[in-house]
A and B are shown apart, each in its own frame.
Chain A
């Protein structure tokens, strides 16, 4: 993969606040890349640095091999969809979409054709003459997209573009954005605080905390092998179980509160250190044994249901395990053959040692 955008050693501070800490990152051509993190983690500052609205104190930014930090925003091969969409209220939809078309495209008919094409691409054909202020939130966003894509940038930057939409609309726009990205083949860099959105849409994700990048990986990589407890807690749901790693006759053993002692799985043993550890287990890696289910092939523990949350397709159970520090959460698909258990029910929980994560980052 050749890097289209290459950031190295980027630092940015506001007064006493360190917004970006030594950020280095390569984003490939044609990638759908997400910057994911809680609010205030620096993801928007990083996006604005790429766009040219923030100037870092140190570091380099190259886009398509060209040094960019001294290039003003209006001369960069990037375009942005703003969080507020920034639709010009005094212009019509067509004037908004055509705002960036230079006088080089002086040919009016050609300009109009390009605007029509861009509006068609985002499903707003025939809206050109509307006043921009008369549009709904979803339509504004489409105008913002068309306005940026019409200029055929090398990189499209999206600053939390879906956060202002309601859930249904957001889901629709998520798949539409993916479709658009495949269709135009432009590199998309998306800023979001919504981990689900990042997982659904991205080719790769950079997880950021406090101005620094914690992990860059594919959605599966981030979800399955979070590199730190912080990343694991931010992406999806994770049970953290205190325990220790010890050596017994050359074999590494894990004592896990509530789950007992097991030989440490091979992939974890490679990097494990002796001593205290936190073990991570996703709710879907734990399952409650129902009478009709076949006998477990993995390991199991007995416990009691402390709490349950019914989601329609799934039920999440908090289960007290003897010797456990706190209840573990277990998600079960609701099948017709499975009753929804009440708190207090005694259950047997099976789990897969292969799904364990190990954190010793303290």
Chain B
């Protein structure tokens, strides 16, 4: 009887999970498999040669443009992640430690306000702010700080970093905030009681205990950033393009879907490898929590 009940229960479970499972398989695993398959085919002028070959991969590794774009993507995503997490930490810390408990929900709500506008609008906004005749340049010139407009802030890597760091800030604030909220405040008092200054207590207790949040924030920012293609396209200029832009070009402009698929697979593998490092890091930090 008990066994029947269990079987019945797992059947119900499967039934409940079925629709999203079908959805996930159809819309995620299916296309992924297609991409993988495509990456082993080659473009043969007008049609696709479906012989399985590693030629695309060979070319991807040989041609410096792909390597540079891939490297640049990892670099930009890394810088964006670092900048975002470093800027998000003080905000999360402030909300967790210095905002009255009944106001915290309000503050978190305020943090999410940028999401109310579309991502695209926010990117354009940065274009307006950072442009040659943009808000920043005209203000600085009006104040007499600079003589002529700064050109280092738009259509290059800096613009991409600034725009992405702003766009992903709430994603970084939330996990860090949650990790900080979970820290038992008496631990900090204990550190002080045992002779630590406020700074040392932060360094020895708060920061190590907040690390799972920091790692989660890094992962959440890093993964979507590395594949971002709207921001580099709109504010990156020629020097700020990333791998995703090249994938798009391969698919749509050069009509070389197999090469685009190969680059997509390689990008995924890099993200996977880096994410794995983060996950291992987090396991180390989570050890001892239970």
| Residues of A near any B CB (own CB < 8 A) | 51-53, 72-75, 78-80, 82-84, 86, 88-91, 99-100, 102, 131-133, 147-148, 151
A79 touches B193 (CB 8 A): yes
A89 touches B209 (CB 8 A): yes
Beyond the given A89-B289, A90-B288, A133-B290, please list 9 additional residue pairs across the A-B interface where CB-CB is below 8 A: A53-B192, A73-B192, A74-B192, A75-B195, A78-B193, A86-B187, A90-B209, A90-B285, A151-B194
Q: Which residues of B contact A148 (CB under 8 A)?
A: 193-194
- Chief secondary structure at chain A's binding surface: loop
Contact for A82 among B186, B197, B287, CB less than 8 A = B186
Q: Which residues of B contact A90 (CB under 8 A)?
A: 208-209, 285, 288-289
B193 touches A80 (CB 8 A): yes
Q: Which residues of A contact B191 (CB under 8 A)?
A: 88, 99
Looking across the interface, which residue of chain B has its beta carbon closest to that of A100? Answer: B194
A84 touches B195 (CB 8 A): no
Looking across the interface, which residue of chain B has its beta carbon closest to that of A99? Answer: B194
Contact for A53 among B189, B195, B205, B289, CB less than 8 A = B189
Is B196 on the interface with A (CB-CB < 8 A)? yes
Given A132-B288, A133-B289, verify A86-B184 contact (CB < 8 Å).
yes
Q: Which residues of B contact A83 (CB under 8 A)?
A: 186
Min distance, Cβ A49 to any Cβ of chain B, angstroms = 13
A82 touches B194 (CB 8 A): no
Map CB proximity to A onto B253-290 as digits: 1 under 8 Å, 0 otherwise.
00000000000000000000000000000000101111
B184 touches A84 (CB 8 A): yes
- Residue of B190, B197, B205, B285 with most chain A CB atoms under a 10 A cut-off: B190
Interface size on B, residues (CB 8 A): 21
Looking across the interface, which residue of chain B has its beta carbon closest to that of A91? Answer: B288
B209 touches A73 (CB 8 A): no
B194 touches A147 (CB 8 A): yes
Given A133-B288, A133-B289, A133-B290, verify A88-B190 contact (CB < 8 Å).
yes
Min distance, Cβ B196 to any Cβ of chain A, angstroms = 6
Q: Which 5 A-B pairs have the closest CB atoms?
A: A100-B194, A86-B190, A86-B186, A73-B192, A82-B186
Q: Which residues of B contact A91 (CB under 8 A)?
A: 288
Map CB proximity to A onto B177-217 as digits: 1 under 8 Å, 0 otherwise.
00000001011011111111100000011001100000000
Q: CA–CA, A82 to B197, complex, Å?
A: 19
B186 touches A84 (CB 8 A): yes
23 A/B residue pairs, CB under 8 Å, sorted by A: A51-B193, A52-B193, A53-B193, A73-B192, A74-B195, A74-B196, A78-B193, A79-B193, A82-B186, A83-B186, A84-B184, A86-B184, A86-B186, A88-B190, A88-B191, A89-B187, A89-B209, A90-B208, A90-B209, A99-B204, A100-B196, A102-B195, A131-B288
Min distance, Cβ B207 to any Cβ of chain A, angstroms = 10
Min distance, Cβ B202 to any Cβ of chain A, angstroms = 13
B189 touches A86 (CB 8 A): yes
Given A89-B289, A133-B288, verify A74-B189 contact (CB < 8 Å).
no
Q: CA–CA, A74 to B209, complex, Å?
A: 21
B193 touches A88 (CB 8 A): no
